[in-house]
Amino acid sequence: MRLRGAAVSVFVVALAFALALPVQAVAGAPASRLLFGAYSPVDPDNRRTDTIAALEGATARPVDIVHWYQPWGSRDWIVSVQRELLDAVIRTGRTPLITWEPWDPRNNTPHQPAFSLARVAGGAYDAYIAQWADKLRDVGRPIYLRPMHEMNGSWYPWAGGLNANSPERYVAAWRHIVDIFRARGAGNVRFVWSPNHLDVLGNHMESFYPDAGYVDVLAVDGYNWGAAMPQKGGWQTFREVFQNAYDRLAKLGPKPIWITEVGSRGR
């Protein structure tokens, strides 16, 4: 869930996610440090990474991974693989992370049965998925892909309980996507499975786990909504937001664990 609003956007640009990642998962990374990533609403959509470079200067630490979002439904240029964006990130020595969303955000509702998990698993989008697999494979460099994140929430069309979705259908859809990528030889694409830090409407994150053989990185999104929003937990520390979810992810097996979205309001 991306926070919106000018005041929040500045913070999200400054700190979109810190990656608690055993660095052996990225070839060539020093073995003694964690990786740090960022999302900017500007980079790399402008085919540059100037905002990311400015963030590096402000924080005095490298940004290793650049994150952006692409939906399955919208104008053609938005839903397609944009090689120039990938190249803009890779040529600076960074690694792309794409959150890949089966919905049309222009409709601004999660009630989009055209993107139900049954349709994804049943082959309705196979040609589209195969096109992405081919084009990401041809990049020939590591790319992280995060499909259908926050599935244990209630705000996306792939969430449990919406559009006749279920954990079983989520697992089938996820495995179907990964199987297509593998069949197309896209071994450079690593899959990031990323629930929300809190379960909503009885959607327990563990029930949506596709199995270790279909996931490369475990991740979690979490926000401190602040005292002005007690219905969302009120003011919480970083540990209060993430500790429980981190412990639950760790029980799923020895995978890298990332924090892929984080934001905080002022007190």
Closest CA to 97 of 261, 209, 235: 261
Averaged pLDDT, 160-174? 98
Residue 189 vs residues 67, 98, 179, 239: alpha-carbon distances, Å: 14, 10, 12, 31
pLDDT at 33: 64
Could you read off the pLDDT of 94-133 as tens digits, one per residue? 999 999 999 999 999 999 999 999 999 999 999 999 999 9
Give residues with Cβ within 8 angstroms of 179, minimum separation 6: none
Task: Tell me which residue of 188, 189, 243, 190 sits closest to 220, measured CA to CA.
Answer: 243
What residue numbers bound the domain in which 233 lies?
Answer: 6-264
The answer to the question of residue 1 being in a domain is no
30: in domain: yes
Give how many domains the chain has, as a whole number: 1
190 vs 2, which has greater pLDDT?
190
Instruction: Report the alpha-carbon angle 56-62-65, nearest 5.
Output: 105
Q: Is residue 239 a part of any domain in this protein?
A: yes
- Domain holding 29: CATH number? 3.20.20.80
Domain assignment present for residue 37? The answer is yes
Residue 122 within a domain? yes
pTM above 0.75, yes or no: yes
What is the pLDDT at residue 222?
96
**Residue 143 and residue 94: Cα distance in Å, rounded?**
10
Beta-carbon contacts of 189 under 8 Å, excluding residues fewer than 6 positions away, are 133, 136, 137, 143, 144, 145, 181
Total H helices, total E strands in the chain: 8, 8
Residue 179 confidence (pLDDT): 98
Contact yes or no for 96/66 (Cβ under 8 A): yes
Provide mean pLDDT across the span 175-198. 98
The pLDDT assigned to 41 comes to 87
More confident of the two residues 226 and 13: 226
Q: What is the mean pLDDT of the chain?
A: 88
Mind listing the pLDDT tens digit for each residue in 242-259?
999 999 999 999 999 999
Residue position matching structure tokens 């060539």: 28
Evaluate whether residue 27 is within a structural domain. Answer: yes
Determine which helix (DSSP H) or strand (DSSP E) holds 70, and give its type and residue range. strand 65-71
